[in-house]
């Protein structure tokens, strides 16, 4: 691993973000990344966060058109309520703050407590839970579906609405619509290595796949011997389409988990498009790359979001963050 010591991995990364991105204000001590121009007058604030190890999610999505602040926890561990409340206070312009919360037990509890803390300080808070992963219903870390790739769609699209000046209820409603319109499925070809453990977080024999893996290496639906990229696309897309039956075009995120070469990920994107074509689903936009990762896990996930014209317009709206950037 490219680290100093496991204990400083998150702080070291935040120092690097501060060095590389002068547009961001990085509070290394409290592990919060904030838009430098926050609070933006008359704008609803968007705050997210979660365990580290999923970069660029969430800190890499802070900037105009997306998040106002992100809180970084230890690797694969929720940040604490004080961070989230502090972030809310830093970005609130008086029009309220939306918390974007991935559905993991620790995150849900901590964001709930943070909302109470923030409201005690006079910040109006709404929350949206992201629970898009169709692989399992409940797991060691989760009640209900896990929150994975759809987080990017929620943060981008709700972020665009907030940037346009939409009120808190509207930003919350759009975030909820995006989550309800999105489903994901992930596949591991290898396990991630956490700094603390120094080795793989689970045992996946060479030549086997974990179908339905979570972004912390949580178990999925089943293990199989190696499949082709095309077979994996069939399996993943069909799993998503069992839950999401789009009657219009979709946004597609073809996401790398960390160690899958972009060359292979583009080949997988071709197969995802092939399957969607065969199932009669039109693709309006496709994003290919490592966006919601699991350290150095080899593997990929597919997230589809049924997007009406308004969601598509907000998706295309300008954004300027380290991880996503266009139109400005």
* C-beta of 128 vs 275, nearer to its own copies: 275
Catalytic residue list contains 21: no
CB–CB of 281/243 below 8 Å?
no
Where in 107-146 is the site for its own copies (CB under 8 A)?
none
Sign of CA dihedral 91, 92, 95, 101: positive
Is residue 39 reached through a cis peptide bond, with omega within 30 degrees of 0 on the bond before it? yes
CB–CB of 327/316 below 8 Å?
yes
* C-beta of 3 vs 109, nearer to its own copies: 3
User: Pattern of binders to its own copies over 185-224, x per CB under 8 A?
Assistant: ----x-----------------------------------
Largest Cα span, the chain = 55
Catalytic residue list contains 273: no
Q: From the list 25, 229, 243, 312, which residue makes contact with its own copies (rule: CB under 8 A)?
A: 229
Q: Residue 11 CB, nearest distance to its own copies (Å)? A: 8
Q: Which of 77, 98, 90 is nearest to 26 (CA)?
A: 90
Nearest-angstrom CA–CA distance, 251 and 146: 19
Does position 14 bind its own copies by CB under 8 A? yes
CB–CB of 87/80 below 8 Å?
no
Q: Residue 264 CB, nearest distance to its own copies (Å)? A: 4
The active-site residue, picked from 21, 30, 54, 273, is 54
Does position 282 bind its own copies by CB under 8 A? no
Alpha helices of the chain — where are they, by DSSP H? 9-20, 81-91, 105-120, 150-163, 168-180, 229-243, 262-278, 309-316
Active-site residue set: 54, 216
| Binding residues vs its own copies (CB under 8 A) | 1-5, 8-10, 12-21, 52-53, 55-56, 60, 75, 189, 228-230, 232, 254, 258-271, 273, 283, 286-288, 290, 293, 295-296, 298-300, 320, 322, 325-328
């Amino acid at each position: 691993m490219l680290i100093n010591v496991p204990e400083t991995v998150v702080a070291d990364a935040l120092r690097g973000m501060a060095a590389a991105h002068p547009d961001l204000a990085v509070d290394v001590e409290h592990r919060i990344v904030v838009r430098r121009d926050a609070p933006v007058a008359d704008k609803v604030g968007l705050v997210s966060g979660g365990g580290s190890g999923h970069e660029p999610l969430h800190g890499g999505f802070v900037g105009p058109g997306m998040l106002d602040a992100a809180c970084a926890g230890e690797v694969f561990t929720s940040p604490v309520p004080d961070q989230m409340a502090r972030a809310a206070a830093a970005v609130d312009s008086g029009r309220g703050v939306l918390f974007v919360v991935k559905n993991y037990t620790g995150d849900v509890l901590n964001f709930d407590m943070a909302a109470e803390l923030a409201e005690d300080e006079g910040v109006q808070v709404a929350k949206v839970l992201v629970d898009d992963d169709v692989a399992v219903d409940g797991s060691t870390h989760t009640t209900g579906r896990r929150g994975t790739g759809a987080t990017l769609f929620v943060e981008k699209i709700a972020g665009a609405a907030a940037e346009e000046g939409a009120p808190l209820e509207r930003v919350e409603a759009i975030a909820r619509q995006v989550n309800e319109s999105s489903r994901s499925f992930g596949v591991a070809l290898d396990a991630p290595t956490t700094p603390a453990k120094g080795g793989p977080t689970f045992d996946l024999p060479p030549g086997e796949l974990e179908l339905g893996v979570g972004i912390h290496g949580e178990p999925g639906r089943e293990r199989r011997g190696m499949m082709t990229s095309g077979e994996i696309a069939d399996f993943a897309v069909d799993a998503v389409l069992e839950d999401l039956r789009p009657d219009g075009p979709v946004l597609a995120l073809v996401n790398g988990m960390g160690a899958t070469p972009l060359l292979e990920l583009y080949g997988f994107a071709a197969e995802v498009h092939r399957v969607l074509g065969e199932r009669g689903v039109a693709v309006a936009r496709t994003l290919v790359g490592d966006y919601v990762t699991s350290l150095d896990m080899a593997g990929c996930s597919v997230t589809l979001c049924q997007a009406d014209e308004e969601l598509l317009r907000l998706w295309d709206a300008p954004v300027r963050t380290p991880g996503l950037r266009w139109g400005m």
